[in-house]
């Protein structure tokens, strides 16, 4: 059983430039000399603030390697924990050697799962009756194009139904009853 609802729930697009440019503040130098070090702790904090600013705290942790003598054009692979998911964050260094900038991207779409749950509750409620609870897991997920979100909806009589919810590139939702 499939159902499409026209509801846009993507918070960004595939290969999203989830974090815009983070300026020189991201980079703290060990000394005024030639040797420079990328401050991984500061970079992690900046990426966390930039990836999902509308969901503070959704990203539980970010880990980036400390990079000695960072240069424009250099790439750094960081790892972020989003709820129960572990996602790769690609960081490109830009700007100049004296004023580095960073741009972070992920190879997935961020989906507001809490909005998926609200859509499912409305759809389930219309077809079966009042819904007492809908659980789709964490509030935000990083999903590949073909990935679905498992959700459970429980009606007032205690019957639980499990759905697989897919969100396409345009943000259209398909619900499939298991």
DSSP notation for 73-129: T-EEEEEEEETTEEEEEEEEEEE-SSSEEEEEE-SSEEEEHHHHHHHHHHHHHHHHS
For the CA atoms of 156, 157, 160, 165, what is the dihedral angle to 10 degrees? -40
Query: Mean pLDDT in the chain?
Result: 76
Whether the pLDDT of residue 60 is over 80: the answer is yes
More confident residue, 95 or 124: 95
Residue 17: its pLDDT value, please?
38
Confidence of residue 75 (pLDDT cuts 50, 70, 90): very high
Confidence of residue 68 (pLDDT cuts 50, 70, 90): confident
Residue 50: its pLDDT value, please?
80
Q: Which two tokens stand for residue 20?
A: 């815009």
Q: Which two tokens stand for residue 141?
A: 């997920």
Confidence of residue 153 (pLDDT cuts 50, 70, 90): confident
Whether the pLDDT of residue 39 is over 90: the answer is no
Confidence of residue 77 (pLDDT cuts 50, 70, 90): very high
């Amino acid at each position: 059983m499939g159902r499409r609802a026209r509801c846009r729930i993507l918070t960004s697009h595939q290969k999203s430039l989830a974090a815009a440019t983070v300026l020189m503040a991201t980079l703290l130098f060990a000394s005024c000399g030639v040797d420079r070090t990328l401050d991984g702790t500061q970079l992690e904090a900046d990426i966390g603030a930039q990836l999902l600013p509308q969901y503070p705290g959704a990203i539980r942790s970010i880990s980036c390697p400390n990079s000695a003598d960072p240069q424009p054009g250099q790439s750094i692979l960081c790892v972020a924990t989003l709820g129960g998911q572990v996602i790769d964050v690609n960081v490109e260094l830009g700007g100049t050697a004296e004023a580095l900038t960073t741009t972070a991207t992920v190879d997935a779409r961020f989906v507001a799962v809490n909005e998926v749950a609200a859509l499912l509750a409305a759809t389930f409620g219309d077809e079966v009756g009042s819904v007492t609870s809908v659980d789709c897991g964490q509030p935000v997920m990083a999903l590949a194009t073909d990935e679905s979100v498992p959700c459970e909806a429980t009606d007032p009589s205690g019957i639980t139904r499990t759905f697989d919810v897919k969100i396409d590139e345009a943000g259209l939702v398909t619900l499939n009853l298991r």
